[in-house]
């Protein structure tokens, strides 16, 4: 059971005094007035027709978070009212993702399909009240008679059938006597309503094609969202039914259903869904990326899905922190991706063990170092966490450093290695570059350096300073790995910003994945388990790929870079010179 979620805590979430959003204010008021008898019951109602993404995380954290803060509970309910679109495949995946995020629904796992019998009975009750009727109009005719934004619709010729006839026809709909699309059950509300959702909305439609993933072929009529959702909420005793802005127009219908049925009436509250720069969030577009092979799957590390983010190296803690920071409001907004990255860095900085890894190796021979000598030098696992301890890394005559850490002609403010310059090899020695070896094409292929034996461990007894400390890996001890560098999937902050006639696919970033092979890692990394994340010192956070990595054929994903002051300076320099 879910003890964690039953326990009240501060309404502003963990970690201090974040402002209380408008939804929590409503709940605070309800608690004060005793409106729901002190109860807070929320729900997260995904349709099992796709994988969860970061936008769902916002909703999950809102619903489960509120329940936890107010000592209530949050239900996980699959909104499975359309067998044509839904699949069992997604149910387990969704449960797994919610759990991974750190939330627990306890025993409160539900399916809208659990309520099909009840919903049918309620529909009969509506018919008896004269509030619903069986309509024989075709989908096309329904569309034509609905009217427009400015003109009222016209009433269906079947609108005034007798209750008895409606009862009989509805029963025959259920019995499967009619073809798909032949008839619907409609609410009798108001064809002239300025709110189109109230123009005799369809409550039930006939779907015979694929069997339902849970009820099989028991039903061939299925309730529409606008009818199923309020009833599901009601049956579960939901107090606050939190959904996104586009359902605002549906609230009058939500209320109508509950009002007419005279059953528990939860309050629907709408908030703005999450948008992120450089990211598409709609299920349709995500599907398109997967189907079109633009990404390797739903768990591609460039996807904003929870599975993608997880594989990329994002932690549940970082995502929850992010969700807390973005707030909840009714304004359509686009959150800067950098905030997400900030949250990840902040989490990983405290927790990720450090390692040395050379992504673009440049061979360095320490000319005055004994040929066959190997020294194991002590390195700190995490400067932010003394309890993480230390480890030993091997040092020898031939090492690799990153190509970025050497410049034959150093630009101003570049203070890493260059001919004649001295730098510190982290945890090892000071070295000075004495010779640059090039191939026939003039490419630098090797550096020859001397080391100062007195600087063992990285400290100079004479107190002399070096401007830079760089990372390195002993050539003969190095583990090889493939490293995947990821960038935004799209080149524009708004992927939908495209010329007339083009789609968001036109903004796909051709460099969103760059694969580096023969990267050199310190030996300890060969042992790393899939899914664990390290900070490659001075470079970024990297996660062992949980799908493709094998012992002896390691694959790491870059979750996020470290902040890079030099990159900014360099960018400014190149901008100035051009």
Q: Which residues are catalytic?
A: 47, 273, 283
In degrees and rounded to multiples of 5, residue 380 shows phi and psi of: -85, 130
Indicate which single residue of 130, 194, 370, 386 sits in contact with RNA (rule: CB under 7 A): 194
Indicate which single residue of 263, 398, 505, 569 sits in contact with RNA (rule: CB under 7 A): 569
Residue closer to RNA by CB (options 223, 308) is: 223
Q: How far is the CB of 293 from RNA (least distance, A)?
A: 24
CA 325 to centroid of chain Cα atoms: 15
Contact stretch for RNA (CB under 7 A) within 161-169, 233-241, 297-305, 326-334? 326-334
Residue closer to RNA by CB (options 121, 346) is: 346
> By CB under 7 A, is residue 217 in contact with RNA?
no
Contact stretch for RNA (CB under 7 A) within 208-216, 296-304, 337-345, 473-481? 337-345
Q: What is the 3-state secondary structure (H, E, C) of 461-477?
A: CCCCCCCCEECCEECCC
Q: What is the 3-state secondary structure (H, E, C) of 554-573?
A: EEEEEEEECCCHHHHHHHHH
Indicate which single residue of 181, 237, 523, 530 sits in contact with RNA (rule: CB under 7 A): 181
Indicate which single residue of 206, 242, 323, 431 sits in contact with RNA (rule: CB under 7 A): 206
Q: Which of 561, 567, 534, 566 is nearest to 357 (CA)?
A: 534
Give the separation between CA 301 and CA 531, rounded to whole angstroms: 12
Contact stretch for RNA (CB under 7 A) within 90-98, 462-470, 479-487, 499-507? 462-470
Q: How far is the CB of 246 from RNA (least distance, A)?
A: 4
Residues between 410 and 449 with contacts to RNA, criterion CB under 7 A: 413-416, 424, 426-427
Indicate which single residue of 195, 217, 368, 503 sits in contact with RNA (rule: CB under 7 A): 195
Q: How far is the CB of 28 from RNA (least distance, A)?
A: 10
Q: Which residues contact 358 (CB under 8 A, 6 or more apart)?
A: 400, 401, 402, 471, 472, 473, 478, 519, 520, 521
CB 492 within 8 A of CB 507: yes
Residues between 72 and 91 with contacts to RNA, criterion CB under 7 A: 79, 81-82, 84-85
475-514 mask for RNA (x: CB under 7 A)? ----------------------------------------
DSSP structure string for 247-275: GGGGHHHHHHHHHHHT---PEEEEEPPP-
> What does the block give as tokens for 450?
């001397």
Residues between 32 and 51 with contacts to RNA, criterion CB under 7 A: 45, 47
Contact stretch for RNA (CB under 7 A) within 101-109, 124-132, 140-148, 304-312? 140-148
Do the bridges between strand 240-244 and strand 554-561 make them parallel or antiparallel, or are there none, so unpaired?
A: unpaired
| Residues that contact RNA, how many (by CB under 7 A) | 95
Residues between 380 and 399 with contacts to RNA, criterion CB under 7 A: 382-384
Residue closer to RNA by CB (options 79, 233) is: 79
Indicate which single residue of 191, 339, 444, 516 sits in contact with RNA (rule: CB under 7 A): 339
> By CB under 7 A, is residue 192 in contact with RNA?
no
Indicate which single residue of 89, 180, 497, 527 sits in contact with RNA (rule: CB under 7 A): 180
Lay out the sheet containing 398-402: strands in order across: 469-470, 422-425, 430-438, 444-451, 361-366, 398-402, 473-474
Q: How many helices (H) and strands (E) does the chain have?
A: 14, 25
> By CB under 7 A, is residue 335 in contact with RNA?
yes
Q: How far is the CB of 494 from RNA (least distance, A)?
A: 11
Give the separation between CA 534 and CA 556, rounded to whole angstroms: 10
CB 278 within 8 A of CB 337: yes
CA distances from 119 to 214, 251, 263 (A): 16, 19, 12
């Amino acid at each position: 059971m879910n003890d964690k979620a039953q326990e009240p805590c501060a309404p502003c979430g963990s970690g201090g005094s974040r402002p209380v959003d408008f939804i929590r204010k409503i709940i605070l008021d309800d608690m004060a007035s005793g409106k729901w008898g002190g109860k807070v019951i929320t729900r997260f109602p995904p349709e099992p027709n796709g994988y969860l993404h970061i936008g769902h995380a916002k909703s999950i954290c809102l619903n489960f978070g509120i329940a936890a803060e107010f000592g209530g509970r949050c239900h996980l309910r699959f909104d499975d009212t359309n067998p044509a679109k839904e699949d069992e495949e997604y149910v387990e995946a969704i449960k797994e993702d919610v759990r991974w995020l750190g939330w627990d629904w306890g025993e409160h796992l539900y399916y809208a399909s659990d309520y099909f019998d009840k919903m049918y009975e309620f529909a009969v009750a509506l018919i008896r009240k004269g509030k619903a009727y069986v309509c024989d109009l075709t989908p096309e005719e329904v569309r034509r008679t609905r009217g427009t934004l400015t003109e009222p619709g016209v009433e269906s010729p079947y609108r005034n059938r007798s209750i008895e006839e409606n009862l009989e026809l509805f029963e025959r709909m259920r019995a499967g006597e009619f073809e798909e699309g032949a008839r619907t059950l409609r609410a009798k509300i108001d064809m002239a309503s300025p709110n189109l959702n109230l123009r005799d909305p369809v409550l039930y439609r006939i779907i015979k094609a694929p069997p339902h993933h849970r009820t099989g072929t028991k039903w061939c009529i299925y309730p529409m969202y606008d009818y199923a959702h309020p009833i599901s909420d009601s049956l579960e005793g939901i107090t606050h039914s939190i959904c996104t802005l586009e359902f605002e127009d549906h609230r009058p219908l939500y209320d109508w259903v509950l009002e007419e049925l005279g059953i528990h009436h939860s309050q629907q509250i709408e908030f703005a869904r999450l948008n992120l720069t450089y990211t598409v969030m709609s299920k349709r577009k995500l599907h398109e990326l997967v189907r079109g092979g633009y990404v390797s799957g739903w768990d591609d590390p460039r996807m904003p899905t929870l599975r993608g983010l997880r594989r990329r190296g994002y932690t549940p803690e970082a995502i929850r922190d992010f969700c807390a920071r973005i707030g909840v409001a009714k304004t359509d907004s686009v959150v800067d991706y950098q905030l997400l990255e900030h949250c990840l860095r902040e989490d990983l900085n405290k927790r990720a063990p450090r390692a040395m890894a050379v992504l673009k190796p440049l061979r360095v021979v320490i000319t005055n170092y004994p040929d066959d000598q190997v020294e194991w030098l002590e390195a700190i696992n995490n400067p932010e966490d003394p309890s993480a301890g230390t480890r030993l890394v091997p040092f020898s005559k031939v090492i690799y450093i990153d190509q970025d850490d050497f410049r034959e002609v150093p630009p101003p403010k570049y203070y890493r290695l260059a001919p004649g310059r001295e730098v510190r090899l982290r945890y090892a020695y000071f070295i000075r570059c004495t010779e640059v070896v090039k191939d026939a094409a003039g490419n630098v292929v090797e550096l020859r350096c001397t080391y100062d034996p007195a600087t063992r461990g990285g400290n100079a007894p004479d107190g002399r300073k070096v401007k830079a400390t760089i990372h390195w890996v002993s050539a003969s001890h190095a583990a090889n790995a493939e490293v995947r560098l990821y960038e935004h999937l799209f080149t524009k902050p708004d992927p939908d910003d495209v010329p007339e006639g083009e789609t968001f696919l036109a903004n796909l970033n051709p460099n969103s994945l760059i694969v580096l092979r023969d990267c050199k890692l310190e030996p300890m990394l060969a042992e790393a388990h899939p899914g664990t994340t390290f900070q490659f010192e001075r470079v970024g956070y990297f996660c062992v790929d949980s799908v493709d990595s094998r012992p002896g054929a390691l694959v790491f994903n870059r979750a996020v870079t470290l902040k890079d002051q030099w990159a900014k300076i360099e960018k400014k320099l190149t901008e100035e010179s051009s």
